[in-house]
């Protein structure tokens, strides 16, 4: 196969967004993908407003929203089982839930429709390097080893990326590596159109149980994406499996019994490793990592879809500059880190503040729930300001 300017490893949200914008910038792109779309992605399925501008620019916002379920507020349950709900005001678009096998397929198709070269069923095994610089990808294709050559490799194959580990981008801090467990449940009671976060007293450092509505039944119950989000360190201290934590919550708490006591698991529970916070550089000579492969999951809520798409678009812009300059050195690609910091730095700073001062400890969650239920203004921002803590001015941008 001929040499390409850019090879993108992974056809999910980060990779497909990167491929779409690379194509629009006139780059010669090959995107490779291990699976075939539609394929599942273990996730909470949340779709948030900061992603809407990119989806609109890609021409697929209406397509995505048409198959999504609106979530009009956020609910928080503290360790006392007290609940506070914040509904979005009219000027703020609702959040949505959309199963990732649907959402990712729409984004993937948008990239492929631009005319890029695309190979599925390609399992990337390693980044090929020569004289310290990435120059291609080696993988299995139709049962045989195949080497693909390029000037620039972009890693977008998720938090389990062995290529990211190979390049030294892999996060190892047990306080910032989370584990997630997800299942779909029918017959969930006590929740309608608000995303719910439950902070049981066994969690620390921001762990929680989530319930994200994805549809309603005729009997008034709800179908939800339900999961557990917990740090590696917290998980080891509990000496429980992720599944045991979920069933413990169902069987030993009032909220768990109400939500899942009569609900039915649809399919199976699945789990994954989630590196968060981006604490180190995720580029080297001839290679950049986006989204989960670049540790860009947020370290408080665990969301990674928005940062994957935003970093994918940023990587496309830097790739275009590198191709024009014919410079793929580590020094030139420092522009990627600089731009990620400019666009997403305040976001990661903001969610760290949420984790440190709001959701990281049971007692601060209790204070926050009481603040909301007392009518305190400004929700999370207002609560933090009441404590003398200010968030960054622009916590999340897709510019």
pLDDT, tens only, 4-49? 999 999 999 999 999 999 999 999 999 999 999 999 998 999 988 8
Which pLDDT band holds residue 236 (cuts at 50, 70, 90)?
very high
Which residue has 């399919």 as its token pair?
267
How far, in Å, are 71, 73, 190, 344 from residue 195 at the CA level?
A: 6, 6, 12, 24
Q: Is 207 in a helix, a strand, or coil? A: coil
Q: What is the mean pLDDT of the chain?
A: 94
Percent of the chain scored above 70 by pLDDT?
A: 98
* Token digits of residue 258: 């109400």
Number of DSSP helices (H) and strands (E) in the chain, helices first: 12, 18
* Token digits of residue 375: 């009518």
In degrees to the nearest 10, what's the CA dihedral of 34, 37, 39, 41?
Answer: 80
- Backbone torsion region of residue 258, taken as left when φ is above 0, otherwise alpha when ψ lies between -120 and 50, otherwise beta: alpha
Rounded distance between C-alpha atoms, residue 169 and residue 131, angstroms: 19
Rounded distance between C-alpha atoms, residue 111 and residue 235, angstroms: 38
Residue 270's DSSP bridge partners are 182
Task: Note the pTM of the prediction, 2 decimals.
Answer: 0.95
As a whole number, mean pLDDT of residues 298-303 equals 92
What pLDDT does 393 receive?
61
As a whole number, mean pLDDT of residues 55-60 equals 97
As a whole number, mean pLDDT of residues 185-189 equals 97
Rounded distance between C-alpha atoms, residue 112 and residue 17, angstroms: 10
Residue 137's DSSP bridge partners are 127, 148
What pLDDT does 192 receive?
85
As a whole number, mean pLDDT of residues 230-258 equals 95
What pLDDT does 49 receive?
80
How far, in Å, are 203, 221, 357 from residue 351 at the CA level?
A: 18, 32, 10
As a whole number, mean pLDDT of residues 289-310 equals 94
Q: Is residue 163 pLDDT above 80, yes or no?
A: yes
Rounded distance between C-alpha atoms, residue 193 and residue 182, angstroms: 19
Q: What is the pLDDT of residues 81-129, one digit of tens each?
A: 999 999 988 887 788 999 999 999 999 999 999 999 999 999 999 999 9
Rounded distance between C-alpha atoms, residue 299 and residue 207, angstroms: 10
Outline where 167-295 has alpha helix (H): 232-238, 242-252, 254-260
Which CATH superfamily, name and number, covers 4-42+99-172+276-347? Answer: FAD/NAD(P)-binding domain (3.50.50.60)
As a whole number, mean pLDDT of residues 336-359 equals 94
* Token digits of residue 289: 């990592």
Which pLDDT band holds residue 346 (cuts at 50, 70, 90)?
very high
């Amino acid at each position: 196969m001929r040499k390409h300017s850019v090879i993108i490893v992974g056809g999910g949200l980060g990779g497909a967004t990167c491929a779409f914008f690379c194509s629009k910038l006139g780059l010669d792109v090959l995107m490779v993908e291990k699976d075939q779309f539609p394929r599942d992605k273990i996730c909470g399925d949340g779709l948030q407003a900061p992603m809407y501008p990119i989806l609109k620019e890609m021409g697929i916002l209406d397509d995505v929203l048409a198959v999504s379920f609106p979530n009009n507020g956020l609910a928080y349950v503290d360790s006392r089982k007290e609940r506070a709900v914040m509904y979005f005001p009219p000027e703020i678009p609702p959040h949505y839930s959309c199963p990732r096998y649907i959402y990712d397929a729409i984004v993937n198709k948008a990239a492929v429709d631009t005319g890029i070269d695309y190979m599925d069923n390609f399992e990337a095994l390693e980044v090929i390097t020569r004289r310290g610089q990435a120059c291609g990808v080696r993988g299995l294709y139709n049962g045989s080893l195949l080497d693909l050559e390029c000037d620039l490799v972009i890693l977008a194959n998720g938090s389990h990326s062995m290529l990211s580990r190979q390049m030294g981008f892999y996060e190892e801090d047990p306080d910032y590596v989370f584990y997630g467990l997800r299942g779909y449940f029918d017959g969930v009671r006590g929740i309608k159109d608000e995303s719910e976060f439950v902070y049981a007293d066994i969690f620390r450092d921001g762990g929680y149980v989530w319930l994200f509505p994805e549809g309603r039944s005729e009997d008034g119950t709800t179908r939800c994406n339900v999961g557990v989000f917990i740090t590696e360190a917290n998980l080891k201290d509990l000496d429980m499996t992720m599944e045991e934590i979920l069933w413990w919550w169902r069987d030993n708490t009032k909220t768990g019994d109400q939500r899942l006591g009569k609900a039915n698991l649809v399919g199976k529970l699945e789990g994954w490793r989630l590196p968060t916070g981006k604490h180190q550089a995720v580029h080297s000579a001839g290679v950049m990592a986006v989204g989960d492969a670049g540790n860009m999951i947020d370290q408080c809520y665990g969301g990674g879809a928005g940062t994957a798409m935003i970093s994918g678009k940023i990587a496309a812009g830097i790739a275009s500059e590198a191709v024009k300059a014919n410079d793929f050195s580590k020094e030139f690609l420092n522009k990627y880190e600089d731009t990620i910091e400019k666009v997403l730095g305040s976001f990661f700073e903001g969610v760290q503040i949420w984790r440190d001062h709001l959701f990281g400890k049971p007692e601060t969650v209790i204070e926050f729930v009481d603040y909301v239920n007392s009518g305190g203004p400004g929700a999370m921002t207002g609560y933090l300001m009441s404590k003398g803590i200010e968030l960054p001015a622009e916590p999340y941008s897709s510019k």
